[in-house]
Amino acid sequence: MGTPPPKVKGPWTHLQKLLTSWMFREKDWDQQLDEAHMLQQKRIQESLLLQAAKDNDLCVLKKLLLDRSCDLRQRGALGETALHIAALYDNLEAAMVLMEAAPELVYESTLCEPFVGQTALHVAIMNQNVNLVRALLAHGACVSARATGTAFRLSPHNHIYFGEHPLSFAACVGSEEIVRLLIEHGANIRAQDSLGNTVLHILVFQPNKTFACQMYNLLLSYDGHGGHLQSLDLIPNHQGLTPFKLAGVEGNTVMFQHLMQKRKHIQWTYGPLTSTLYDLTEIDSWGEKVSFLELVVSSKKREARQILDQTPVKQLVSFKWRKYGRPYFCILGALYVLYMSCFTMCCVNRPLKNCSSNHTDSRDITLMEQKLLQVTLHRRK
């Protein structure tokens, strides 16, 4: 009999697992999505129900509904239902037939990564299909459903970040009509995702900054907060950042200027001269646990430095430098010069004594050596 193979040690096994998981994470994210969608299409072709929902084939759908052996809740490769497929391809008629036959489908969400938690309502909102959104809401679709899959998280691999709730999806795609519909059906504008971001935080990340600013104003108009509730635009996320601070950290100058315009108050105008007052709440570091200026300077985003050139941040930094920074710097500079002067004088005027003997070499021309400090203690008798 041959010698049995040596057993793999524990640390080596752990290292192999780490390397495998690292290689899997490094796999191209777009390629993973393409493979997932290919599996989805293959599964659709294998299922008559899913194929009929994709093709909007009402005749086949009605025949399948009469067949008791047909499972209306069957899932695709990504864990999606036939209603998800109908919403994905904007097939309103097929979606209506499915909802009438199986009303519980409006509550079902995708089960598999990377689209875990996505409902048909999320899909309809993404496609901006207002009529389908109305139909889903009329059949009781949940306006607080959360899409928590990896495709919806804030990550460099993802092309979009729309949050988790249907309301944030609608705000990010820029559909005011769908936003109003969701709020009328009870959507919570204060809802926060797993990062603590509200819909206002999420709008800061959107590339279409003009639409984001318009949607920001629309959502604030629905913020009917009372005296016991904090204003929507002052709610911090898990990092302690409000939407205003987040705009500074991300270097979103368009959103930052938009929010500053809401804080601006024109005191007087005299011909070409205008006196403007700005609310410096969250900007001036006085009384703030997290300094806005420190957040901007320490941000990893290069665009964040542009905030320092924006009004009134530029004026505030200049004022703080003249009032506090420059005097403090001058005092430290003077103390440093004084210290270096004293140190230099001590080195130049240090006590020396004649070199008693040459212990190194005959060519040594050292005549003086450092004199040791001696302390004489006088004792009283």
Task: Check residues 67 and 195 and name the one with the higher pLDDT.
Answer: 195
pLDDT at 357: 63
pLDDT at 314: 87
Residue 98 CA to residue 60 CA, distance in Å, equals: 12
pLDDT at 26 over 50: no
Domain 44-266: which CATH number of 3.30.365.10, 1.25.40.20, 3.40.630.10, 3.40.640.10:
1.25.40.20
**Average confidence (pLDDT) over 32-61:** 89
Per mean pLDDT, which range of 292-296, 340-344, 375-379 is the poorest?
375-379
pLDDT at 140: 93
> According to the per-residue pLDDT averaged within each range, which of 135-144, 228-237, 259-268, 305-314 is highest?
135-144
Task: Check residues 67 and 366 and name the one with the higher pLDDT.
Answer: 67
- Integer-rounded Cα radius of gyration of the chain: 34
Compute how many other C-beta atoms are within 10 angstroms of the C-beta atom of residue 47.
20
pLDDT at 244 over 80: yes
> According to the per-residue pLDDT averaged within each range, which of 75-79, 129-133, 225-229, 249-253 is highest?
129-133
Place of tokens 């729309």: 162
Cis peptide before 156 (omega within 30 of 0): no
In this predicted model, what pLDDT tens digit does every residue of 265-323 receive, in sequence order? 888 888 888 887 777 777 876 666 777 888 888 888 888 888 888 888 888 888 888 99
Q: Where do you find CATH 1.25.40.20 in the chain?
A: 44-266
Predicted TM-score of the model (pTM): 0.77
Residue 247 CA to residue 200 CA, distance in Å, equals: 10
* Chain mean pLDDT for the chain: 84
Sign of CA dihedral 249, 250, 255, 256: positive
pLDDT at 368: 64
pLDDT at 147 over 90: yes
**SS3 (DSSP) at 37:** helix
Residue 50 CA to residue 98 CA, distance in Å, equals: 11
* Helix runs in the chain, H state only: 10-25, 29-46, 48-55, 58-66, 82-88, 92-101, 120-126, 130-138, 166-173, 176-184, 199-204, 209-221, 243-250, 253-263, 292-297, 313-320, 326-348
**Average confidence (pLDDT) over 213-227:** 84
pLDDT at 376: 53
In this predicted model, what pLDDT tens digit does every residue of 68-99 receive, in sequence order? 888 888 999 999 999 999 999 999 999 999 99
